[in-house]
Amino acid sequence: MQFDYDLFVIGGGSGGVRAARMAAGTGARVAIAEEYRFGGTCVIRGCVPKKLLVYASEFAKTFKDAEGFGWSVGSPSFHWQRLIENKDREIERLSGIYRSLLDKAGVTVFQTRAVFEDAHTVRLLNEDRTVTSKTILVAVGGWPYVPQIPGSEFAITSNEAFNLPKLPGSIAIVGAGYIGLEFAGIFHGLGVDVTVVHRGPRLLRGFDEDLEIGLAEAMMARGIKLMLNTRIVAIEQGEHRYRLVTATGEPIETDLAMYATGRVPNTPKLGLDKAGVALGQAGEVKVDEFCRSSVDSIYAIGDVTDRVNLTPVAIDEAMRFVDTVFRGKPTPVDHHGIPTAVFSQPEIGTVGLTEEEARQKCLGVDIYKTSFRPLKATLSGSTERMLMKMVVDQATDQVVGVHILGPDAAEMAQILAIPLRLGATKADFDATMALHPTAAEELVTMREKWQPPQAKAAE
């Protein structure tokens, strides 16, 4: 059978753009459809604008810290509109680069929503016509999930938070995953009164418990209110403010309510049923290790598969897909040892197993941890401490996890992912020369195994 294209990609985000470019580079006839702006979540309303807002919000602390180093900063003022305009200009530039990379690679670009007609056919909605392709790649990403409660339509999500017409005086952020906590730090740094409301007992499900506890303490010390074990059952609109009604009855009055309660795959109304593609419980496209769906001609990568929802993972999956389908080198995706950051304030950087996971997987585990006041804090007067924790498999001496809370934690986690991937042992870390004076030198100078307080007392 003759097809219009060898590959049709639905979705021009991190994964889709990379797959389209790389596949075109092999000589394949490739087309891509994007319904909004090229660059997708990461560029338009995710990682990039988020990090720019984090930088903006960190200046408040920097101005304060500067006094201890002899600076008189006066009373700084902040202009939200200027920040958003500058951010938008940068996003526009990046989105343009994504688009021109596709053109340069010889990819046919359709600015439209595309939906399935069958296993080899997609309908281009703006043009009201269909095209056929030998292989179709689903890279449509995800969308914020807001639980349906009375008044949930009054809440914003991270999508809207990037373009608020003005900063609120107060905000209640529902959800304590990484997006909620990052926005808590952003708004707090910009002078907004922030309350984080979470139905569970702990922040950041899936992260090492010491990091979660350390972050909760640090956020509260900075002035962010944390309401754990609190469930919101309704949002009421008052004359000027909103009232979040909790299950226990205690209301939370706020200028703005934001939901950061997870994201769901963007599969509704995509016509995947017409193509016979199997979906999982959350609506994710079910794929094998080669990103192939239940239908041979259809593959899926990135957030729509709801595996590890991060930009570098979507990009890696795109490249493994191209290896498998267009380069004749079937390559499974390796989801192990992915370094992860939370750009909360203070920041988290982590790679490998948590202590809890290691205790389940290894016969014995040694823990090394240290908590200290970074050198910079001595003059700035900040009481915030930095936390570092190393998880070691007793049987092999291999370092299986490192968890850091404090300045530059994300940068450290990226570098640490390399030795951990290579199977570095604690002895390798110990044999590495320290770089002084840094915070990271603690990673090669931790010698004493951590013992729970009761074990220490019994010695």
Ligand X SMILES: Cc1cc2nc3c(=O)[nH]c(=O)nc-3n(C[C@H](O)[C@H](O)[C@H](O)COP(=O)(O)OP(=O)(O)OC[C@H]3O[C@@H](n4cnc5c(N)ncnc54)[C@H](O)[C@@H]3O)c2cc1C
Point out the residues that are catalytic: 436
In 3-state terms, what secondary structure has residue 288? Answer: coil
Contact segment (CB under 6 A) with ligand X among 98-106, 233-241, 304-312, 350-358 equals: 304-312
Closest to 236 in 3D by CA, of 249, 227, 245, 248: 245
Candidate residues 139, 176, 204, 295; the one interacting with ligand X per rule CB under 6 A = 139
Mask for 308-347, x = binds ligand X (CB under 6 A)? -xxxx-x---------------------------------
What is the smallest separation between the CB atom of 376 and ligand X, expressed in angstroms? 24
Tokens (6 digits) for 177: 């995953």
Residue closer to ligand X by CB (options 158, 195) is: 158
The residue assigned the tokens 């205790």 is: 359
Tell me the C-alpha distance between 307 and 284, whole Å.
9
Mask for 226-255, x = binds ligand X (CB under 6 A)? ------------------------------
Residue closer to ligand X by CB (options 157, 380) is: 157
**Exposure class string for 309-334: b at 16+ Cβ within 10 A, else e:** bbbebbbbbbbbbbbbbbeeeeeebe
Tell me the C-alpha distance between 40 and 310, whole Å.
12
Q: Which of residues 40-59 bind ligand X (CB under 6 A)?
A: 40-42, 46-47, 50
Do strands 114-118 and 108-110 pair parallel, antiparallel, or not at all (unpaired)?
unpaired
Tokens (6 digits) for 243: 């009232």
Residue 265 sits at the vertex; the CA angle it makes with 228 and 285, to the nearest 5 degrees, is 130
Candidate residues 133, 261, 266, 382; the one interacting with ligand X per rule CB under 6 A = 266
Residue 12 near residue 34, CB atoms below 8 Å = yes
| Inter-helix orientation angle 47-66/80-104, to 10° | 140
The residue assigned the tokens 């009421």 is: 236
Residue closer to ligand X by CB (options 303, 442) is: 303
What is the smallest separation between the CB atom of 259 and ligand X, expressed in angstroms? 12
Size of the site for ligand X (CB under 6 A): 35
Q: Which of residues 101-130 bind ligand X (CB under 6 A)?
A: 113-115
Residue 172 near residue 257, CB atoms below 8 Å = yes
What is the smallest separation between the CB atom of 157 and ligand X, expressed in angstroms? 9
Residue closer to ligand X by CB (options 46, 401) is: 46
Q: Which of residues 389-448 bind ligand X (CB under 6 A)?
A: none
Residue closer to ligand X by CB (options 291, 399) is: 291
DSSP 118-166: ETTEEEETTTTEEEEEEEEEE---EEE-----TTGGG-B-HHHHTT-SS
Residue closer to ligand X by CB (options 14, 382) is: 14
What is the smallest separation between the CB atom of 189 and ligand X, expressed in angstroms? 16
In 3-state terms, what secondary structure has residue 125? Answer: coil
Residue closer to ligand X by CB (options 197, 304) is: 304
Tell me the C-alpha distance between 415 and 351, whole Å.
10
Q: Which of residues 173-192 bind ligand X (CB under 6 A)?
A: 179
Mask for 20-39, x = binds ligand X (CB under 6 A)? -------------xxxx---
Provide the residue type at 245 as one letter.
V
What is the smallest separation between the CB atom of 178 and ligand X, expressed in angstroms? 7
Tell me the C-alpha distance between 417 and 420, whole Å.
5
What is the smallest separation between the CB atom of 301 and ligand X, expressed in angstroms? 6
What is the smallest separation between the CB atom of 98 and ligand X, expressed in angstroms? 10
Interface residues with ligand X (CB under 6 A) are 10-16, 33-36, 40-42, 46-47, 50, 113-115, 139-141, 158, 179, 266, 270, 302-304, 309-312, 314
